[in-house]
Amino acid sequence: MYKAQVLTFWTNDRTPHVFNFLSTGDSGMDVTGQPTTHINPDPNLLVAELWCGDETLAKIEAHPDYGEAAVLWSEEIEDETTE
């Protein structure tokens, strides 16, 4: 399990695009720290914090909209659901 912050963009339904990659057991939240009404829509970027499996993180890093540079940081953490 990984905790990571990813630079992503808003979808038309006002959710972070990177959430489309999340699988069962993964989760995420917007940690930009600003109300969405104050975020400039061009570019419409935000930071999302994810708790995800290694396969999810690998898919994000391999996707042409993201890549390794979009992952601001990541760290492996213990999966509390298996303890």
Burial label, 48 (beta-carbon count in 10 A; 0-12, 13-18, 19+): buried
For the chain, what are the domain ranges? 2-78
The better pLDDT of the pair 3, 65 is held by: 3
Q: In terms of Cα–Cα distance, which of 16, 22, 3 is closest to 71?
A: 3
Q: What would the pLDDT profile of 3-61 be if each residue is shown by its tens digit? A: 999 999 888 777 899 999 999 999 999 898 766 666 666 667 889 999 999 999 999 99
62 three-class SS: helix
Query: What pLDDT does 71 receive?
Result: 95
Q: What pLDDT score was predicted for residue 42?
A: 65
